[in-house]
Structure formats: structure tokens, C-alpha cells
Structure 1
Amino acid sequence: MSVIEVGFWHELDQNKIQCDLCPRYCKLADGQRGLCFVRGNEGGRMHLYTYGRSSGFCIDPVEKKPLNHYLPGTPVLSFGTAGCNLTCKFCQNWDMSKAREMDRLADTASPEQLAKYCKTHKCRSVAFTYNDPVIFHEYAEDVAIACHEYQINSIAVSAGYITDIARPRFFEHMDAANIDLKAFSERFYKKLCGASLTPVLDTLLYIHIETSVWFEITTLLIPDENDSNEEIDAMTQWIYNNLGPSIPLHFSAFHPDWKMKNKDRTPASTLTRARDIAMKNGLRYVYTGNVHDTSGSSTYCHNCGLRLIERNWYQLGEWHLKSGCCENCGEPLPGRFEDSHGCWGAHRQPLYLQDRN
């Protein structure tokens, strides 16, 4: 099953329909697909063409999503489909997000099969990642519902580019999320992503105010595009003032890819500088990613300074939490924690759910 009729659309004049799932509001004649390529008009109704299809399955550490305050050390079954509703020139999963030949790329699995695979492989969560789950909303929703029957959590790794209409139903079924805040300027979003900043900020506010979803934020810093002191200062002040001091923020290093191979890699010093600015603005849990930085990737008690969770890449070391609180001073650490961390470690385990001949 790969093609199903879906919602979040309405009829227009001249035999067209409009997609209301993301802020692009694609207007489609019969036979046309949206920019995402996976939703389209078929016979005057909206259809999703990738239901039950994936570009691959892999068991990852939850820290790779990245989520540092959500069941640390536990394994996550990760998968994505194809297509995307953004056009990021720096996309680091472009082979999946820009894929157009799903029959060649896809593995298949029903929501029930995925839930059973998670249970069999002792995954604590399933993660919708690699490309944005917003565009395969219905498949992600059904997988989340099936996984909840087995007490398996659902994680959305998303750019947050979704409409007011679609947000409530999508996040209703998510337990955690990492939202990719790509920059803090409309110029960047328009020039490099073909999108707009405002809907992403609206998504962050919605999750924070209207849901119980645990969420963290990631910003990929690209040299001379979104890494100035001024922009990082403005962004982290907005996060502090609107989302509070306890939202974990990840600054990640860019490497040349897709249509931005002319750019240099992000120096580790840029991530450290951004982290310093964010913490001076009051954010308590700020991390560096895609670089080897044990100090910048570990978690510290904001009250007494004790290192609560040591991270060496995705491998966990010291653990000084008791009932989610600092062992030294008793200060609670925001997030979802258990008495001990998981032992999955840093390795990745690809899964092939169907035979490929």
C-alpha cells in the first residue's frame, strides 16, 4: 500500500485543489504533485504516494536525532521516505529528500510491522527523520499510534514548516521532537530554503504552549550565512524570552553538500562562540554537534555545575542523575530521564525489513 487519499486540502475553481498541510499552499490541477513530490491531486482529491514506503530503516542512538534530554542512551528505529517541502541548498540528506524514484529507493513496512520491529529490537522509540515527516503526515501518525500500543515513543525530526490547521493533529501523536531552526532571518529562509521563518517560530510556540511534547532545537551554522554574533544573539534571546531557559539548543557544524559545496566546513570555534552567546543570554543547555567536543556535548547542572551526563560523540560516560535530579544538589534536569541511561552506545544498525532482489 503506497497511495492513499489524505486530508488537509480544499477545492478551488477550475478543477484545482489547494494543499493546506504546509505554508506553501500548493495549488494543483488534476495529475499534479506539490513541491514535496509525495502529495498530489488525483481525480480532484489529495493523495499521499509514499504511505508505507521508506528510503531505509536504521537503529540509531537517540542522541543522533539529536535529543540529549530524552531517554539518553536508548535505541531508536529511524526512517524517512522521500521528498521535502523545503528546498534547502545545503541539505545533508538530499539523496532522500530530493528522491523522485520511490520504487527504486523504497523499503516497505506497515505501521503494525514497524511497531513489532521496534519491540523485537528493543527500541524505545521510533523516529521520523532523514526527510521531514510533515509531508508523510498520515503514515507518521499511523506508525505513532501503532507504536503506542507497545509503549514505544514517537519522535519527529522536523523543520516545523506546517500550517496552523495541521499542527494539532500532527503533534498530538508525538512524544518528542527536534525542530530544525535553520536561521533567524527571513532572508536566509527565502534565499537558501525557499521558505519563511515565521511559520517555524509559530510551530515552536505551539509545541511549547499547547502540547506536552518534549522538544529540542537544532541550528546548523553555515559560515557567512547564519553564524554572525548578531543573528545568534537575536535567535537565542528569542528562545529565552518565548520558550524559556531550559529548552536544549544544539549548534551543529555544516559540511559542504548538495548545492553548497563551495562553502567551507564550520570551524569548531564557531560552535563554541555560538554556545557562549546562547549561555550568556540565559539558555542553560546548549550543545555543539558534528564535531568532537566532549565539553560542549555534555550536560551540566545549571545550579552547581556538576557534569550530569558525559558524552563522547554518542557514547555516554559519567552519569550523575538520580530520579531526574542532580546527585550533588538535587536540582531537577528538564527532560525525560530514567534512573540509569540506556546502553545502546554509538553504533548504527541498518535494518532491511523486506527482501531486495
Structure 2
Amino acid sequence: MKEALYYTYEEDKIKCHLCPHYCLLAEGQNGRCQVRKVEDNRLITITYNQVSAVALDPIEKKPLFHFYPGSQILSLGTVGCNLKCKFCQNHNIVHDTESRTETITPKEAVHLALDYNSIGIAYTYSEPLVWYEYILETAQLAYQKGLKNVLVTNGMINPEPLKELLPYIDAVNLDVKAFTEDFYREICKGSLNPVKRTAELVYQDILLEITTLLIPGLNDSEEEIKELVDWIATLDISIPLHFSRYFPQYQLDIPPTSIDSLIRAKEIADKKLDYVYLGNVEGQEYRNTYCPKCNKEVISRNYNSVQINLDGKSCSNCGQEIKVIL
């Protein structure tokens, strides 16, 4: 356990300022994230150094398609989340705080990444931002060793702690669950506006990719997809967007997303965004990167390898610059 950052005293209670829930907690109570708790009149983080999952993954699995394509990254996760999505893909570790964990200190995590010859560390699986103190310390150490730091996050964090963390982060995959407040409130127990604010803070200086899991009848209408795409386009048309196929999980038993629905969403997004991908579907063409100017295939991805067909960072056919970090 470690004393948490970002909290204040409010009479006989403690208010957490890490995320927009602003949990007001009495002695012995846990926040909505389940992993920040008041003990001995302090806010502590009960998952500091506690890791529930460790793997060496292709960077494309995050998914990050424009950040060192073809590389491997050490992925770490713990337990806990400040949302309660009914369709949670990792509910077995996210919402089970009794899940078995092992102790890996920040120094050990960095040494592990170096031993694996990884490009760095991805904080993923559960919600990394509620693991804030561990990630901040680990990311700083990794940065000093020349390693990269990646967040795979729901984006539910307040601006001040986010701004403290971002100087040590190199890429973010932001999970935008939907583009309505109703969906966030009813399906995820959260809010859309803080997620949009996170994106607006991240994209200016850090490689940002966005993922949306399309769920039939809940967030896959053409109108909502257009609104999502329009918002991304106002930030930067070169932000990669991943539409991912939903399958029944956790508390949601709606049938899987149809392939036609995913293709239709991609067609809508392709009209305004340079890079749009489909996840959880067959078909290499939905994973490849194409030049936004001449449509030449510039990065080919299959499940075993990645082939980069660029002249530096430009299309070898027309010279168009491709937004990618190599």
C-alpha cells in the first residue's frame, strides 16, 4: 500500500481528486474504482506494486497501429476501474479485487522490459489511471532508461493529474465507449465529457489512437458514428480510429456486432479521417494502413508479421507524409 496523490480533507471525510467521480469517503471506505481507500485518515492506493497480468505483446494488440509498428511491448495490468461497463472484456480481473496478483516494483518492471528487449511498457488490461501512483513512478524510471510508455485507458481522469503524467507518456489508446452521455451514464456509470477533455489534452503532443467498441442498438447508429467522427476530425483528421466488434461479455448478452455494421461505420469515418481500422474481424485489409492521398498500401499487417512500405515516413508512391512513429 502507498499513500495516494490528489486528495483533500472535507470535514470528517476525504475527497479523491484523481477522477471526475470525486469520491467522498469515510474511514474504511473504497472509491468507485475499488482500489483507493481511506485508512488511518489517509487515502491509500491498495494496488501499488500489485500486478494481475504480465505479457510481452505486439504493439498492434493495444491496439496501436501508428506507434513503432511491428515492435513488442511489455504489458502490465492490475485490478480496479473507475467505470462499470456492462460489456467489460476483462471483468475477471478488473472487478475482482481479490484476483491473484504478484508484487512487481517499478524498478523491477523497468528491468523486466529491458530484459525482454521491449520498446517499453504498456499499462493496460484493467484501468491504468486508477493505478496512478505506480504508473507515474514506473513511467518516470522507464523514461530515464530510454523506454517508451503507453496508456490503454478509458480517459476518466482529471486534468491536473493527467498533466503531471503526460510528460512521461509516448502514446495513448483512448477507449471512447460511445458518443452520448446517456450511454456513459446507463451502460458505463461514467461520463463522456471528461473523456473528450482527456483526448483534447493528449493529442497535441502525444500519439493518440481511439478505439470504439460498436454494440448493436446501443452506440452504432449512423448519426452517433457521424458525431464521433466529426469530433475526432475537429481535433486532427490523422488520429487513427479503431472500430472493434463486440461479443457478449459480462452483463451484456446482446448478439455480436454484424460485419456489415462495422463496414458501414468505416465507410462513414473514411469520408473525414485518414486512418480507420476494424478490430475483431477477419480480413487483413481492415488492419492495413493506406496512404490517405493515393490509397497505396503503406503498412501491411497480418497476425504473424508487419511489413512497412515507406520512404522514411512518406508514401513511396506519392510522397504523402504518413502519421507514424517508427
TM-score range, shorter chain: over 0.9
Distance 2:145 2:166 in 1: 19
**Mind listing any 5+ residue stretches in structure 1 that lack a counterpart?**
338-357
Question: Which residue in the other structure is 2:304 paired with?
Answer: 315
CA distance in 1, matches of 2:264, 2:185: 26
Question: Shift in Å at residue 125 of structure 1?
Answer: 1.9
CA distance in 1, matches of 2:174, 2:195: 8
Superposition deviation, residue 139 in structure 1: 0.3
Alignment of 1:231-270 (within 5 A): 231-241=224-234, 243-260=235-252, 262-270=253-261
Query: Are positions 1:278 and 2:269 aligned together?
Result: yes
Structure 2 letter corresponding to 1:307:
E
1:326 and 2:315 matched: yes
Alignment of 1:3-18 (within 5 A): 3-13=1-11, 15-18=12-15
Cα distance in 1, alignment partners of residues 307 and 129 from structure 2: 36
Aligned residue for 2:103?
Answer: 108
Give the alignment partner of residue 221 of structure 1, picking from 203, 214, 225.
214
Question: Do the aligned residues in 2 keep the contact of 1:9 with 1:20 (CA within 8 Å)?
Answer: yes
How many aligned positions are there?
326
Is residue 144 of structure 1 aligned with residue 131 of structure 2? Answer: no
Aligned-residue offset at 1:76: 0.8
Closer, same or farther: CA 147–278 of 1 in aligned 2, 3 Å? same
- Give deviations 1:263-303, integer Å, cap 9, x for gaps: 111112211111100111x1010000011121111000111
Matched residues, percent identical? 39
Please give the secondary structure, in 2, of the residue aligned with 1:166. helix
Q: How many Å separate the matches in 1 of 2:18 and 2:324?
A: 29
Partners in 1 of 2:166 and 2:307 — Cα distance?
33
Superposed CA RMSD: 1.1
Q: CA deviation at 1:208?
A: 2.2
Partners in 2 of 1:135 and 1:315 — Cα distance? 33
Q: Which amino acid aligns with 1:179?
A: L
Which secondary structure does the structure 1 equivalent of 2:203 belong to? helix
Consecutive unaligned residues in structure 2, runs of 5 or more: none
Aligned ranges 1:109-188 → 2 under 5 Å: 109-188=104-183
How far apart, in 1, do the equivalents of 2:32 and 2:117 lie? 36
Provide the rounded CA distance (Å) in 2 between the counterparts of 1:236 and 1:307.
Answer: 23
**Which digits, 9 at most, give the CA deviation of each residue in 1:34-64, with x for residues without a partner?**
0111101112211011111111200100000
Q: Highest relative contact order (Cα 8 Å, sep 6+), 1 or 2?
A: 1
State whether residues 78 and 128 of structure 1, in contact with CA within 8 Å, keep that contact through their aligned partners in structure 2.
Answer: yes
| TM-score, length of structure 1 as denominator length | 0.89
Name the aligned partner's letter for residue 2 of structure 2. Answer: I
Equivalent position amino acid for 1:22 in 2: C
| One-letter code aligned to 1:333 | I
Q: Equivalent residue of 1:334, what SS?
A: coil
Distance 1:324 1:250 in 2: 21
Structure 2 counterpart of 1:5, one-letter code: E
Secondary structure in 2 matching 1:165 = helix
Q: Which residue of 2 aligns with 1:351?
A: none
Amino acid of the structure 1 residue aligned with 2:314: C
CA displacement at 1:317 relative to structure 2 = 4.6
2:159 match: secondary structure: coil
Question: Residues 105-150 of structure 1, C-alpha deviation per residue, up to 9 Å, x if partnerless?
Answer: 1022111111111111110121000011110101011111121222
- 2:325 maps to 336
Q: Which moved more, 1:290-299 or 1:87-96?
A: 290-299
**Which stretches of structure 1, 4 residues or longer, exceed 4 Å deviation after superposition?**
none
What is the rounded CA distance, in whole Å, between the counterparts of 2:165 and 2:213 in structure 1? 24
In structure 2, distance between residues paired with 1:6 and 1:186: 29
Q: Deviations over 1:3-61 (max 9, x none)?
A: 00121111101x10100001111000011110111101112211011111111200100
Q: TM-score, normalised by structure 2?
A: 0.98
Aligned position for 2:48: 51
